[in-house]
Structure 1
Amino acid sequence: MKNPPNYFVRSVDHALQLAVMLQVEGPFGVGEAAQRLGVAPSTAHRLLAMLVYRDFAIRREDHQYAAGPVLSLGGSSQSRTALLRSVAMPQLAGLVERVQESANLQILSGDHVRFIGSVECSQALRVGNREGMVFPAHLASGGKVMLADLPPERLDALYSEAKWADRLDERPNLAALRRELRNVRERGFAINAGKTESGVTAIGRAVRGADGRAHAAVSVSMPSSRFSRERLPDLVSALTLTAHDIEEEMRGADAPRIRS
């Protein structure tokens, strides 16, 4: 279960958010960094300068910042994730308008999920921005719907005793996990009731690629006090519409351009 530390250091949190943005989205400038963090450009510039100093970022000739040696990913992976996020963010905003709860976009990274997009709702009591955060996949709603789509041998490899040798106390019961994922496949959505953060309930649904496989997940998160089984059909319906819209836009972005 992940809760904010007692001594929350805002500048460190901002620097880590920038590092994640650089890694999964690609280059950006000081202005965009400031806007995303909600800070002054001078503050964003100082944060980026520190990331450059520690090799988490590089400053290019066009004054854009890009992932440095510590963060560098394969170009295709980076651009694909950036495209997914750019397509999904307006759809997440629309989802928030429909359900009046915070919404997130997640991708699978080994046995964890990474939040690559987040839109907060406007309610006074709400789940905050989770962008850049990482949670165990078998506990998060988005992680469950993506794990449920994996071939059995891949799931076995992710949760083998050898892979979890240094954290066996955290390793899920594989038989129980398979049963839960079978239910997720049948229902088409997953629920996380306080498993990753106390007092928070989330519902997740897969975003599928042209190959029919789950490439990402969308979820809505809310205070558990505001969740009820009566709300579930409407929440799942809204998630389904959002996932389909993202899938359609991604297919359009992938379609070969016809030259005139």
Structure 2
Amino acid sequence: MERAGTLERGLAVLRVLTAEPERPLRATDVVRATGLARSVVDRVLATLVHLGYARTAGRDVLPAPRLTELGEAYLACSGLRDTLGPIAARLAAELDESVFLAVRDGDGARFVAGHARRGAVSVTFRPGDLVPARRCAAGLALLDPSAPYALDDQLAEPGLTAVALPVRGPGGAPVCAVSVVSHTSRHGAPELAAHALPALRAAVTTMETALTEPAAAMETALTEPAAAMETALTERPGLVAGAAVVEAGPPGPVAADAARARAAKEELGAGYLRSLDRGLAVLVALGAARGGLTLAAAAAATGLPRATARRAIQTLEALGYAAPGDGGRFVLLPRVLELGYATLSRRTLSEIATPHLAALVARVRESASVAVLSGDDVRYVARVPTVRIMSVDITVGTRFPAYATSMGRVLLADLPEERLAAIVPRSLTPRTVTGAAELAAVVRRAAEDGYALVDQELEEGVRSIAVPVRDRRGRTVAAVNVAAHAGRATTDDLRRDVLPALRETAARIEADLAHIPWATAPDHLPGPS
């Protein structure tokens, strides 16, 4: 087996970075943890930062939200979350309990999807979490699938109870386990089994039926000529080209990869490891279709020579991230989720926005905030203040009437006209817009201009300017603003000096949100803050 050493070293660095994703590391920490030479670590980190999988804060290095695309590739490749997740959600609603899906990963059970019951006592396994198989019901069900059911009576954690059953694939082998999880304050273990098993068995039957349908569709796809499949992969919008995403149309993967490589080489010089870039691109590409890809299809999807794609796949196999599947395909394995998915995929809007706000404040030297719409108010979910004798004193959780704030106006601009017409503004300062027609006009202006500027309408002496933060579907989900005392900045100053930086910050927040699962759901609301 011919392995790609650079990819192997890159994954070793990623494992260190994601072992404790919230703990900043420096290059020297990575050197000690991996045993790699400092020069190698520096080049790997520079490449990961260039690809958007890591970011720097001074001398510290942290994993970035884009890294979740590796875990998403596994989840798409396995198809379990998308196929079985809705059934698990219905079971959770029926039982009013938490329900989770887990797969076998070595000696552990790794959770891949779940629906947690909301209550005073919450039970949550995050997608990507690994639990010793003998310490949880899902793991026990996978270790002994012939048992009538598996029961966890406070094995995983004191107070936690769970009952689980295996879910078998078309070939009859268990592909995952589904567990109903509760707390002793609600159900003891025997009581939970009696309560949940009838509905759980019915759900498993439904899941096993659902797994046969995509499998049949995949077998049909495999009968297509290889050339047709590769052409479809090459032309598919959003397919990986190198480690970048091509949204649609030309240039194709080969041209895009070459162009990106040239740009990276110009930016980083010898610090750019193209082989690491290509290896990670192959990993992501294997998630382009449920059931994985053939070598030819993976090469077509990334625009790489077959020999290069083969070395990357062989390395992923050797490290436990990929394996041969059916029909000459290669599939990703659950171990991919260890690369930070559990923590990064659960990042809140506040956690995502705060580093970008800090960079904005350092640039414009004024306070910056992010807010969401909550009823007729804006609610602050992230804020980085400046340190001045005279500053705008606002904290996370603060609420203000949306009609009188810059962030509120860009948020209102995304709502139907009747929603805006229902707001009854009142005067907060002599400058506050209170007329319905005038308010509608300034909101329309915000929609047309792509920003809103409020001059002392909320409070005398305070000016602010805001732009929207949008999701991948173009919906406004939040707003980011800069607020300044009127004595320090005129409205022209804010437009000239702050607006460009504000728009760049919004774009960076949007780029991170594009990789967070809750923010890409069809009917998502802003995540918890």
The alignment's TM-score, normalised by the length of structure 1, stands at 0.61
In the alignment, does 2:392 pair up with 1:127?
A: yes
Aligned to 2:351: 86
Displacement after TM superposition at 1:231 (Å): 4.2
Q: Once the 2 structures are TM-superposed, how far is the Cα of residue 124 of structure 1 from its aligned partner? A: 3.1
SS of the residue aligned with 2:395?
A: coil
Matches within 5 A, 1:205-224: 205-224=467-486
1-side partners of 2:409 and 2:496: how far apart?
19
Counterpart-to-counterpart distance in 2, 1:105 and 1:185: 18
Aligned to 2:438, the other structure's residue is in SS state helix
SS class of match (1:234) = helix
Is 1:243 aligned to 2:506, yes or no? yes
In the TM superposition, what whole-angstrom CA distance separates every residue of 1:36-73 from its partner, at most 9, and x where no partner exists? xxxxxxxxxxxxxxxxxxxxx968899xxxxxxxxxxx
Question: Is 1:185 aligned to residue 447 of structure 2?
Answer: yes
Partner of residue 362, structure 2: 97
Give secondary structure in 1 for the equivalent of 2:397: coil
* 1:107 paired residue among 372, 388, 391: 372
| CA spacing shift, 1:82–1:115, aligned 2, 3 Å | farther
- Aligned pair in 2 of structure 1 residues 81, 104: CA closer, same or farther (>3 Å)? farther
Residue deviations 1:222-260 (CA, integer Å, cap 9, x gap): 11101121342220101100100000000012399xxxx
Partner-residue secondary structure (3-state), 2:482: strand
Measure the CA separation in 2 of the matches of 1:200 and 1:147.
Answer: 20
Check the 8 A contact 2:470/2:477 in 1, yes or no.
yes
Give how far 1:210 is off: 1.5
> Do 1:141 and 1:191's aligned partners in 2 also have CA atoms closer than 8 Å?
yes
Q: Is 2:347–2:516's contact at 8 Å kept on the other side of the alignment?
A: no
State the Cα deviation string for residues 83-109 of structure 1 (Å, max 9, x = none).
111100111111101100001110001
After TM superposition, list the pairs within 5 Å mapping 1:50-199 onto structure 2.
83-156=348-421, 158-159=422-423, 172-199=434-461
CA displacement at 1:81 relative to structure 2: 10
- Structure-2-length-normalised TM-score: 0.31
Structure 1 residue runs of 5 or longer lacking an equivalent are: 1-56, 63-79
Deviation, structure 1 residue 137: 0.4
In structure 2, C-alpha distance between the alignment counterparts of 1:86 and 1:152, rounded to whole Å: 32
The 3 A distance-change label for structure 1 pair 133 and 168 is closer
Q: Aligned partners of 1:127 and 1:92: how far apart in 2?
A: 15
User: What is the Cα deviation at residue 169 of structure 1?
Assistant: 7.8
The size of the alignment, in residue pairs, is: 176
SS at match of 2:515: helix
Q: Which structure exhibits the higher relative contact order, with contacts defined as CA atoms closer than 8 Å and separated by 6 or more residues?
A: 1
Q: Deviations over 1:126-153 (max 9, x none)?
A: 2233321111101011000111121223
Contact 2:352 2:512 survives alignment (8 Å): yes
Code of the aligned partner of 2:401: P
Report whether the alignment pairs 1:234 with 2:497: yes
- RMSD between aligned alpha carbons? 2.9
**Code of the aligned partner of 2:509:** I
Q: Secondary structure at the match of 1:232?
A: helix
* SS of equivalent to 1:138: helix
Q: AA paired with 1:219?
A: N
> Which structure has the larger Rg?
2
8 Å CA contact 2:349–2:381 kept in 1: the answer is no
- Matched residue, 1:200: 462
Q: Matched residues in 2 for 1:230 and 1:135: separation?
A: 24
Paired letter, 1:99: V
Shift of the 81–151 alpha-carbon distance from structure 1 to 2, 3 Å rule, reads: farther
Distance 1:200 1:212, change over 3 A: same
CA distance in structure 2 between the aligned counterparts of 1:221 and 1:182, rounded to whole angstroms: 21
Contact 1:205–1:218 (Cα < 8 Å) also in 2: yes
Q: Percent identity?
A: 35
Q: Show the counterpart of 1:17.
A: none
| Match of residue 74 from structure 1 | none
Q: Which amino acid aligns with 1:252?
A: H
> Structure 1 residues 168 and 238 mapped into 2: Cα distance closer, same or farther (>3 Å)?
closer
What does 1:28-47 align with in structure 2 at a 5 Å threshold? none
Deviation for aligned residue 1:168: 7.5
C-alpha distance in structure 2 between counterparts of 1:81 and 1:154, whole Å: 31
Distance 2:393 2:476 in 1: 25
Distance 1:106 1:59, change over 3 A: same
Q: Distance in 2 between matches of 1:130 and 1:118?
A: 7
Provide the rounded CA distance (Å) in 2 between the counterparts of 1:214 and 1:240. Answer: 14
Q: Which residue of the partner structure matches residue 263 of structure 2?
A: none
After TM superposition, the structure 1 stretch with the greater mean CA deviation from structure 2, 123-132 or 220-229, is 123-132
Letter in 1 for 2:365: Q
Is the contact between residue 407 and residue 452 of structure 2 (CA under 8 Å) also seen in structure 1?
yes
